[in-house]
Structure 1
C-alpha cells in the first residue's frame, strides 16, 4: 500500500460511539481546540491492537484520495490508528537510504535502544532504509532537517 496520500489527524479522544454497524465506531477527537470525527472500521489497522478509550491521545491516518463527507465537524475514515504517549510524536513517511523523510523534515539516527519492528509486531532485522516507516519520537534537534533518535520504528512492509 502506498502511504504518500495519507494525512494525519492527532488529538485526545473525547467520545466513542457505535457506527452504522457493530463493526465500526466513530471516535470524536479534540484536535487543536476543534472536534474531528474519525471512523474506525474493521478494516482499520490499530497499532498494537490497543483498545481505544476516551482520554487517550491518538494519531489517525486517513487516505486523502478517498471521498470525505462535507459535514461539520469533519469526518475521516481512518486507515491506521496509533496511541501516543505524553510528548510523543509520530510521522508516517518514506525514508531514503540516508533515513531522511521524503518531505525533508526529519532525519533518523537509529540507536541501540530503537525498537525496529514490522506492523505485526515482529522484529525487523534489516536496516530500515528506502521504506515507508511509522516513526515514534519525542525530541529533535533544531537543525534542518531535524534529527531524532526514535523510540520505535514500524516498517510498513509491502505484502
Structure 2
C-alpha cells in the first residue's frame, strides 16, 4: 500500500453513529476546535484492534488520492486508525537508512524499551530502516529534524 499519499486527522471522538451499512460507522472528531467526520468500515485497519468510543483521542489516516464528498463537516474514509495516549504523537512516513522521515521532520533512535512490531502485532526482529513506519512518541528535541526515542514503532510491511 502506498502510504505517502496518506494525511492524518487527529482529535477526540465526540460521537459514533452507524454508517451506510451495518459494517461501517461514522466517527465524529473534535479536531482543533472543528468537527471532522471519519468513516470507519470493515477495510479500515485499527491498530491493536481497539474498540473506538467517545472521549478517546485518535489519529485517523486517509488517502488523499481517494475522492471525498464536498460536505460540511468534512468527511474522510479512514484507511488506518490508532488510539493515542495523553501527550503522544504519531507519524506515518518512510524512514531512510538513518531512520529520518522522508519529510525530514523526525529522526528516531530505537532504544531498548522501544516496541518494534508488525501491523498485526508480531515482534519485528529485523532493522526497521528504509521502511514505512508508524512511530509513536512523546518528547522530541527542537532540532531539525526533531529527534526522539519512540515508545512504539509499527513497521508497515509490504506483502
1:111-122 equivalences under 5 Å are 111-122=111-122
Tell me which residue corresponds to 2:38.
38
1:92-131 equivalences under 5 Å are 92-131=92-131
Is the partner of 1:48 in helix, strand or coil? helix
Q: State the TM-score, normalizing by the size of structure 1.
A: 1.00
Tell me which residue corresponds to 2:82.
82
1:55-66 equivalences under 5 Å are 55-66=55-66
4+ runs deviating over 4 angstroms? none
**RMSD of aligned Cα (Å):** 0.3
Q: Name the count of aligned residue pairs.
A: 159
Query: Which stretches in structure 1 are left out of the alignment for 5+ residues?
Result: none
Give the drift of 1:20. 1.0
Cα distance in 1 between the residues matched to 2:2 and 2:155:
13
Cα distance in 2 between the residues matched to 1:145 and 1:158:
26
Give the drift of 1:50. 0.1
Tell me which residue corresponds to 1:71.
71
Query: Which stretches in structure 2 are left out of the alignment for 5+ residues?
Result: none
Is the partner of 2:13 in helix, strand or coil? strand
Q: State the TM-score, normalizing by the size of structure 2.
A: 1.00
Cα distance in 2 between the residues matched to 1:25 and 1:149:
35
